[in-house]
Structures are given as structure tokens and as C-alpha cells.
Amino acid sequence: MNAQRLEKSAAVTRIFTEDAIDLAQDFDGASADVFEVADGRGNNVKSSTGFWHYSHRRKGGKMVIWIIVQRRRQHMQTRFIRAIALLIVASAAILLVACGPTRPASPDVTAQRARAESLENSGDYLAAAEEWRSIASATAGPPRDRARLAVARNLQSAGRLAEARRELEAFDSAPAGAEGIAYALLYADLATATGSPDKAVEALDRLAPDLDNTTRSQALELRARAFFAAGLGSPAVQALVDREQSLADAREVADNRRLIWNSLQQNSGAGVDFTTPEGADPTVAGWLQLGRLLQSAGGDPSRLQVSLKAWRARNPAHPASRSVLDSVLASFRQLSAYPTKIALILPLSGQLAASSEAVRDGFIAAHFGNKNTEPRPTILVIDSATLGAAGAWEQAAAKGAEFIVGPLSKSEVGQLKSVSGGVPTLALNDPSDPASLPDFVYRLSLAPEDEAAQAADRILKEGMSRGIALVPANDWGMRIAKSFGETLQAGGGRLLDLRTFTPGLPDYSDEITRLLYVDESRERHRRLEGVLGVQLEFEPRRRQDAEFVFLAARPRDGRQLRPQLRFHYAYDLPVYATSSIYLPGEAPGRDLDDTAFGDIPWILSDDDSVRALRDQMAAIWPASVGRRSRLYALGYDAYTLVPLLSSLRRDAVSGVAGLTGDLNLVESGRVSRELEWARVVNGRIRRVVNPRDGS
């Protein structure tokens, strides 16, 4: 054992003495009192007599627990000191040999580099990343730095943002020269994308001031993105205004001003502070005023059009007045024009009647709240429960509807695969097979799968990648689990374990202890006591490989599960959930404390315009702020989207600040919703930017 190892080493170096070998043999003799017990998690156990010590360390890829009988061998102390001195001499000799002048020549990686570049150009980013990783391991100095940067770049292109950032953070120190600039720019991009805009700004601050114009332009754009992500509008706009000094021609300057406008539009619903600081540059101040106008319009193109015309009249010399607002106002005139007749198809009788009424009320509220469209369109309401979804759609088309909204349920939307005629339609759910729908059918839904995917994205941006999940044992739970797991894996994460529970039970201890491996911890304790024949003091421990818990549950089950997770030693694991954990109009209670979840702006936003609309609608339609308020917001947004989708312009629905989220038209006619985030603190909902720390 240890003695044999030392003898082999002595045969090579001829430095170790007989005393050192004897000392190793003494330790080897003590090993007769060692018990090895395989364990994957680790516990802290000690005997009530104080005789046994229980600890662990890694061995051969698995955890090994050592239980060692404590022995006093004072005669070994002197020999131990002598042996340590000899080991130091041996180490020094080895280092001297290692520091010799001979170094192997760097291998020729030209062919490998060509393969990596070919894979990258073909879009096979993960394979390219592995090829670059192999090149990095075979090279040194700047070529190695370039290869490692290429690994991170390809991981980023593959959507593995957290993994790409970890690749850069594994550098012992930031590279120098051109590689250092590339490192700072890439790290800033990844840090912002993974939820650490402050780290992005720190990386950019370390760049030298004498950058060439192209690099300076890129750095200032990244700085602006970081400040926007941090909710700081003034320094973000200042960075983009400064960027104009690095641009070569009038076309690039015009593009930069359009970038400022687009950035204001995209961030207007994200709670960014567009307050104008004292002494601000007039150009910056004007852009910030536009940001506040976008926020107050709340995504309503007609209201925004009126506000922008008034702003331009007050600021004729501002760069935005001509180069940006001419095209913006022209687009808004087109995008705010409603069709003359709109049909609303909902199952207003039957099981979904109450839900349909909430959608209808939101739709009608948006219709009457839009005072900038004259004459107002005619609204035709049709009950799909009596005619069937396809029959109701055909009736709407026959009565001259120029745009159709609905139906509501998944099965009803699936029936639209048989319709024809080309009338633009916004369905309010996702069917089982979206690809079967005609290309004139768009979709906006409150699908829980979308919320689960956003929860996974949020977790990855928070820098976590390994977690466990609890979902109901039904179709709803399985769909959520599938979406969450696929999104987490696509982003470089891993779902370590998934457990299901039966909704409505008072106790979920069995499910939770199995998920956390607490039951296995107790079983190991019982096994140890049986082997040793002594009573051991013991505190169970949960698994240590998980960084978070994802929870899909209704409020009643959530209030049972969250405290039981704490009780079973998961009190320090962040818990993320979908909006189903919270019922609008009710206080969540302290049982849900420290649970983060995504939800719609209609419920979470503290924006003045949203709050004013919420108060106004609560007085007219009390249900608009109650348990069906999400459906009310769905109807409101559906009406807002009608002119945008009628225009048939794909870029028309981009960064629209809706009541159900920031709305964007993406692939296959689906309108995506970006949620806001909240955390339960002292039994109340608190809107947060960073769910992990509650800020």
C-alpha cells in the first residue's frame, strides 16, 4: 500500500530514506482499522462516546467514507517531521528537473483548426466547440487563448450561454493583447445574457481607452445592453449616443439612432428607469423622454402616436425628430388601423363559459378604451360551443369579418386546421399539432409550457444548471415537466431527478424525501449502526448535487409542498415555479415565502399606466383583478394585436408591452410572451429583477 508506493518512488529518485518508508509502514498498519463505506452524498456522524470519527473524501470517482479509530503514537511525531523535510527536498529536486530548458515543440494543429472552422461555418457549433477544446489542450500561449475563446463563442452560438460563460471564467487570468479585447467583449455579452449586467460593465471598464473605432463601437453597444438589462436607462442611452462618434458614415449614424429607439421600445415594459438625471446632455434627455412616453402608452399604438406627434412638435431639432419618428409614425398609422369588422369566437356556454366571459370582457374593455380609432370597428361575438370552432369560424367569415379572434380551448383551436379562406385569425391557445394550422392563423396563449420554459431560461441566467423538479401526476404536470427539462438541457443544464405528486393530499413527505435522498441518508445511518454495533448521533442530510428546485403546483398544493421542502433540509435551495402557484386577488401567505415565479405584467407591474388601467377596470369589471384576471388580460392583448397582425408585417409585433407580457411574433405564427418575475416575501408578492436575491 503506502509503503510500496514510497519504495517505488525511492527507486526512481533515490532520495527517500529508510525512516520515511518506516513511517509510511506505520500509517499502513493503522489502516487495518479503517472501514470503507460507499456513499454518494456524505453525512456528519459521530459516536455519543466520542471514539469514532466519520468523514468523507473522493476516491476513484465515487465518495468514500472513512471511519478511523483514533490512535496516539507520539513516537511517530519526530519521525513524521524528518520525513516531511525529506519530502520537501524530493519535491524541489523534481521541480528542478521539470524546469529544465527542454520543451516539446507545439504540435501542428492546422488540420484540426480547419475542421473546427468548417464545423463552425456549417452551424454545428457543439461539435466545433469540442474541436476547439481539443486544439486548446494541445497548444499554449495566445493560440491556446484563441482556441478557448472559440470554444466559448461556439457554445454561445449553440445557446449554451451559462456553459460558455463558465468556459471564460475558467481562465486563470484574462488574456493580453487582441485576445484580451476579444475576451472582454465576449464575456460582457455572456454576462448580460446570463443575468449579470454588473459583471459585463466591469469587464468593459477594463478595456484600454485607445480602442479602434470598430471595437469601441462594439464595446459601447454591449455597455448599453448591460445598463438596459440592469434597469438603468440614462447610462444606457448615453453609451449609444457616445457610440455615434465611432461610426464612419451617415448610414451607420442613422442605424444607431434606430437602435436607440428599438432599445427604448424593447425595454419600455421591463421596468427600466428612464428618469432624466440633472445636467443631462439635451440629446440624451430627449431620448429618455421618448422612453417615458413608450412606458406610459403601455403598448397602445394609437395612444403612442398622439404622444409622439406632440413630442416632435416640442423637439424639432432632436436627432430622433426626423431620422426616426418619420418612419415610426408612418408605421403606427398603418399599425393602428383596425379592420371594420372583427369576430370574437368563444365557448360562451358550457364548461368554459366563465373563462370565456373573462376573455370577452378584456376584449371589449380594450375596444372601448381605444379612443384614437374612429370609427370603431364592429365586434361580432359568436358562441363556438353551439356551432363548433370550425362552424363558428366559417360563420364569421361569411358575415364579412376581416379579422377573427379565437377560439379558446386547445381542442377548438385544433379544429381550425380544416378552415380555408385566408381571413387573418388569432387563436387563443396552442393545439396539439401547431404545424397543421393554416398559415393565416396566429396564436397567443397562456400555455403553462411557455412559462416552464421561461423558468428554465431564468434559472440558467442565474448561473444554475443542475436541479430537481416536483410536478403533479397528470397531463398538465407532464407537459410542464417536458418543456422545463428540454429548455434546461438545451441551455446546458441538467434535470437530475423528477418526482410526481397527487394533488390535494395533506402530506407529501414520501415524495419529497425520495426526491432529496433523505430516506437513503437515514438508511445509511441504520446500516452503519448495525455494522459498528454502537449508537451514532445523526442528522439526516439531503442530496448535495442539486442547485435548485422547480415546482409546478396550484396554490393549495404549493402551500403544502413549500414548507415541507424546508422541513426536509431543502431550506437553502432556491425554488422556482410557474404562475399557477399564485391565485390573483389573494395573498399567497408565508408558506410560499422565498418562492420565485414568473407572471404577467397585469398582475405584477408597478408601471403607472398599468396600475391606472388596473384601478379603472377593477371599478367596472371586478373580475378583471380576481382569479380570472389572466384571461381578462389575454382578451385585452388580443384586441391590441389585431391591427398589428392585420398589417401582415412580421416585425409589427416586436417588443409590444402587453398586459400578458412583452409580445413578439416568432416562428410559425406564435406570439411569445416574456413574463415579469416576482418573489414571495413575508407572505406578499414582491416584483423583482433578480429572483435569487430578491432585488
Task: Report domain 341-443+627-651's class.
Answer: alpha beta
For the stretch 416-443, pLDDT in tens is: 999 988 899 999 999 989 989 999 999 9
CATH topology identical between 341-443+627-651 and 448-600+678-688: yes
pTM here is 0.65
Instruction: Kindly report the number of other CB atoms within 10 A of residue 323's CB atom.
Output: 17
In whole angstroms, what is the distance from residue 484 CA to residue 550 CA? 9
Single out the residue of 212, 193, 213 nearest to residue 203, CA to CA.
193
For the stretch 146-182, pLDDT in tens is: 999 999 999 999 989 989 999 999 998 889 899 999 9
Instruction: Kindly report the number of other CB atoms within 10 A of residue 366's CB atom.
Output: 22
What does pLDDT average to over the chain?
A: 81
Whether residue 565 is predicted with pLDDT greater than 80 in this model: the reply is yes
For the stretch 394-411, pLDDT in tens is: 999 999 999 999 999 999
For the stretch 204-233, pLDDT in tens is: 999 998 899 999 999 999 999 999 999 999
- Residue 595's beta-bridge partner residues? 575
Whether residue 531 contacts residue 520, with contact meaning beta carbons closer than 8 Å, is answered with no
Task: Look up residue 466 and give its DSSP letter.
Answer: E
> Which of 145-154, 254-263, 536-545, 666-675 shows the lowest per-residue confidence on average (mean pLDDT)?
536-545
**In this predicted structure, what is the pLDDT of residue 375?**
79
Instruction: Kindly report the number of other CB atoms within 10 A of residue 505's CB atom.
Output: 12
Between the alpha carbon of residue 196 and those of residues 13, 133, 182, 231, the distances in Å are 50, 25, 18, 12
Output the nine-digit C-alpha cell for 148.
478557448
> Which of 278-287, 379-388, 601-610 shows the lowest per-residue confidence on average (mean pLDDT)?
601-610
Query: Domain map of the chain by residue range?
Result: 2-98, 341-443+627-651, 448-600+678-688
Task: Look up residue 489 and give its DSSP letter.
Answer: H
In terms of DSSP H, where are the helices of 99-196? 110-121, 125-138, 141-157, 161-169, 177-193
Between the alpha carbon of residue 243 and those of residues 178, 216, 655, the distances in Å are 21, 8, 23
For the stretch 504-555, pLDDT in tens is: 999 998 898 888 876 565 555 455 555 556 554 545 566 788 899 999 999 9
Task: Report domain 448-600+678-688's class.
Answer: alpha beta
Band of residue 12 on the pLDDT scale cut at 50, 70, 90: very low
Helix (H) / strand (E) containing 116: helix 110-121
For the stretch 25-77, pLDDT in tens is: 443 343 333 333 333 334 444 333 333 333 333 334 333 333 333 333 444 44
